[in-house]
Amino acid sequence: MTTQLDAGARVFVAGHRGLAGSAIARALADAGYEVLTRTRAELDLRDGAATADFLRAARPDAVVLAAATVGGIMANARNPVPFLEDNLRIQLGVISGAHAADVNRLLFLGSSCIYPKHAPQPIPEEALLTGPLEPTNEPYALAKIAGITQVRSYRRQFGRSYISAMPTNLYGPGDNFDPETSHVLPALIRRFHEARRDGRDEVVLWGSGTPRREFLHSADLAAACVLLLREYDDEPPVNVGCGEDLTIAELADTIAGAVGFTGRIGWDPSRPDGAPRKLLDVTRLRKLGFAPRVPLARGIRETYEWWVHATRS
């Protein structure tokens, strides 16, 4: 198969300090590509004019759009406006700016939350826009759907080799552990760590514990993204996951074991569960030869060890 990203190409990774972007930047560098980055202080990607100026000056061979305003259920519920508007501004500026700078290769990272709340399981890419979204993250999901549409539109109108990938729930070293904005896996690591540290005998978690979720290590996502940049050039988005899921209660038990918390785990069903299940159909990605390498239990232990070390440094 003809590669869509030449050896030694210069790739701008937007969002290189985030969980996904940092892993992708490392994987690209390890694969021999020249990685271009800018911090938010150097370039606010919500500023479309500044973003276009940078891309025209830098003239990368490809762009990976991993920058986004992200967060868990609580953050989405409390701050829907930035989850919608920040992401729309980032996407509009980076994608249109890449086109204006004649960058012909771009990978846009969406999210599994783009799919309907009651999508068939596992969720095929064709489920997009076939039903209502999960209300707790609708603004973020709509922004990401707009990004997919923008990528598809540049392919159709201008023949650009722009593609979209839809990652499942990600975790790994470099994750966000802030109690107000973190996603479920790092949030649980912190909750159990603090409970063990403080000698508490019970941790009460949101919801019922019954929803099923899929989790992918950031290193596996990065490997998939490099593969897609090299070998995929088509209009449909590509799901990126491991193809396996577990209940939130099972996840909590796994994390408690990794952290060393031996107390009771309780549940508060008055709090939202989110979608009942989110497992991606990864047939399209597997046909390209991708298989994840980091088992969940090992990945959780490594992520916990990284966070403990980072908080002590």
The domain that holds 135 is classified in CATH as 3.40.50.720
Give the type of residue at 35: V
Percentage of the residues of the chain whose pLDDT score is greater than 70: 99
**Which residue range is the domain that position 150 belongs to?**
10-173+215-244+278-294
Is 308 part of any domain? no
Report residue 27 as tokens: 């994987």
Reported as a pLDDT band with limits 50, 70 and 90, residue 313 is low
Nearest alpha-carbon partner for 225 in 272, 167, 143: 167
Tell me, what's the pLDDT at 1? Answer: 39
Asked, for residue 126, whether it belongs to a domain, the answer is yes
Q: How confident is the model at residue 275 (pLDDT cuts 50, 70, 90)?
A: confident
Q: How many CB atoms lie within 10 A of CB 67?
A: 27
Is 85 part of any domain? yes
Considering the domain boundaries, does residue 4 fall inside one? no
Would 30 be classed as within a structural domain? yes
With respect to residue 207, please indicate whether it lies within any of the assigned structural domains.
no
pTM attached to this predicted model: 0.94
Mean of all residue pLDDT scores within the chain: 95
Q: Is 81 exposed, middle or buried (0-12, 13-18, 19+ CB in 10 A)?
A: exposed
**Torsion of the alpha carbons at 169, 172, 173 and 176, rounded to the nearest 10:** 30
Give pLDDT, residue 78: 85
Q: Name the token pair of 219.
A: 């290193």
Residue type, 105: R
Residue 136, pLDDT score: 85
Residues tagged in the binding site annotation for substrate: 191, 206, 213, 273
Residue 178 lies in a domain: no
pLDDT in tens, 147-206: 999 999 999 999 999 999 999 999 999 999 998 888 899 999 999 999 999 999 999 999
Helices (H), the chain: 19-30, 48-58, 73-78, 80-100, 138-158, 184-198, 218-231, 248-259, 283-287, 296-312
Report the pLDDT averaged over residues 117-144.
Answer: 95
Helix (H) or strand (E) holding 211: none
Residue 267 lies in a domain: no
Structural domains of the chain, count: 1
Residue ranges at the known binding site: 15-21, 109-112, 144, 167-170, 183, 191, 206, 213, 273
pLDDT tens for each residue of 57-107: 999 999 999 999 987 777 788 889 999 999 999 999 999 999 999 999 999
What residues are designated binding site for NADP(+)?
15-21, 109-112, 144, 167-170, 183
**How does residue 2 score in pLDDT terms, banded at 50, 70 and 90?**
low
Tell me the percentage of the chain whose pLDDT exceeds 90. 88
For 206-241, the pLDDT digits (tens) are 999 999 999 999 999 999 999 999 999 999 999 999
**Catalytic sites, residue numbers:** 140
